Every structure is written in structure tokens, then in C-alpha cells.
A and B are shown apart, each in its own frame.
Chain A
């Protein structure tokens, strides 16, 4: 015996919602293409916390990019994007202290070129690091 609700749910799933218009995709494309420098990274919790987040971002940004070996190609360029910092609500740790999770994301792009065949090898690596910044409570 068939479940009438199941049949009705299957019929609902057969309906095809109208897709967004092409203008929506174009507007999303424009927004996602905005350079990282213009993204609204808000670091305004406190002077001490902002300094800690900046130090973490600087550590990531200034560290040497990893350059994978590629013997058939000649390295022509290695880039690291500006890191994007995301702050979360403070969490309580197992020992009763508090910490604020901070996520830093950046991308490494390394490009090699073979002059003879005019071919390129591009290594793109998104990176994601989550760190806990200890908070002092009074």
C-alpha cells in the first residue's frame, strides 16, 4: 500500500521552480568580483582584540608561500591574496575560560610556464585557518 503523503511529496518534487533571471547572476558576479580590499571586514570589538587579529593576519600574509616542485615548467609567478578575517562569538572552553574563534582565509596562486610549448601550469590553493584568541574576563 502506497503512502499518499509520499506520493504527494514526489509530485511536489516534480514541480520545477522558476530560475532567477540572468540579471541576478550578473549582479552576483559583480559582487563576488569586488576586490578583497573593499570587502567589509569589520574589526571593532576592542583595540586589543583588533591588534591580535591583525597580528594573526600579518603572520599568514607575510609567511613564505609554498611553491610545489614542477620540474617541467619554469616558475614565473607566485601570489598570495589579502587574507579575509572572520570573527565569531566568544566560546567557553573546557577549563572555564573564554576565547573568540577567528577564521582567516587566503589563496595562494603559483604559475609556471613552458616557453617551448607556450603552456602554463597554475596551482591554486585556498587556505583556511581557524584560531582561538583567548579573552580575559573581569
Chain B
């Protein structure tokens, strides 16, 4: 990944990193459209105001995404309570490109079935490129808790894909 500190062209940086940013946003939002909105808002804030700040740019952009996603959830909750609308296409649209390999396809589906607290650790470690220390800071948990959630998630994923590929 190119370093956002020195990158001048946002298009090149976004083309390289947009998909993983969107996945990070997607697991904290209720719909594909919400994920796009969060990525847009978070990326613009990161690029204009935060990419030159010291520290790991991955952690900075993840912080920006989490902040936008939480803001959107709060706004959506208020709107839903007023309008009694529930819009959640969590299970209708894939988070990943279709995979021909059945094991990878099972893995993609299994990821969505994880408890949210385990899934966010997996997403932040694999696609956010964060350490357990950095994940702990993002989620306000200890690094040991982040590592435990990771281990539980790995066990669950292994069980799930083994069961699915034997069906």
C-alpha cells in the first residue's frame, strides 16, 4: 500500500485502498448505500485533514470510518424510531466479489455469521492492517481482549467452513 503521508493523487490511493475501506465501513453499517456514504465522508475528512498527521495512516483512516459509521447509525436510529423503517440488507448483497473456490465462498459467507465483536476484530486485522494494540485502541478494549476475539473468530470460521464444505 502506498503511504498516504506522501501520496499526492487521491484517485490512485483510493483505487488501491477503496475496496478494503468499504469493507471496513460495510461491517459497521446496515446497507451497501450506507457503506458508500460512510466511505465518502470518512475518506474526504481523512484526505483533507488527517493524512499528514503523524502515526499509522491505516489507523487514522479506520478511526475516520468508525466515526462516520457511528454518526450515521445514530442518525439512522433516530430516523427509524420516527418512521418505523428497518432497512437492513446485510444478508442480501455480498461483501466480497464472487469466488469460484467453494472454500473461499464458504469463508466469505461465514465471516458475516460471526458475532459483530469478533467480526470487527477480524476485519480490522486483515483488511485494516492493524495490530492488536491498534485494534484495542479503536474499539476501546485491551489488546488481550482483541487477541482473544481473534482466536474465537478463527475457531468459529474453521468450524463453519468445515461444516459447509462437507454439506
Contact = CB atoms under 8 A, between A and B. Distances in A.
Interface string A20-46: 110111011101100000010000000
B20 interface: yes
B107 interface: yes
B115 interface: no
B66 interface: no
A128 to B, nearest CB: 6
A15 B97 CA distance: 8
A15 B99 contact: yes
Contacts of A25: 11, 14, 18
A17 B95 contact: yes
B47 A32 contact: yes
A28 B15 CA distance: 12
A116 interface: no
Contact of A20 (B18, B95, B127): B18
Nearest to B20: A17
A86 interface: yes
Given A8-B157, A20-B19, A86 B44 contact: no
Interface residues on chain B, size class:
35 or more
B11 A21 contact: no
Interface string B114-142: 00000000100111000000000000000
A64 interface: no
A47 B144 CA distance: 46
A125 B8 CA distance: 11
A31 B157 CA distance: 40
Interface of B: 8, 10-11, 14, 18-23, 26, 35-36, 39-40, 43-44, 47-49, 52, 94-97, 99, 103-104, 107-108, 111, 122, 125-127, 151, 154, 157-158
Interface of A: 4-5, 8-9, 11-21, 23-25, 27-29, 31-32, 39, 86, 103, 105, 126, 128
Given A5-B154, A31-B44, 7 more contacts: A12-B126, A13-B126, A17-B22, A17-B97, A17-B127, A28-B10, A32-B47
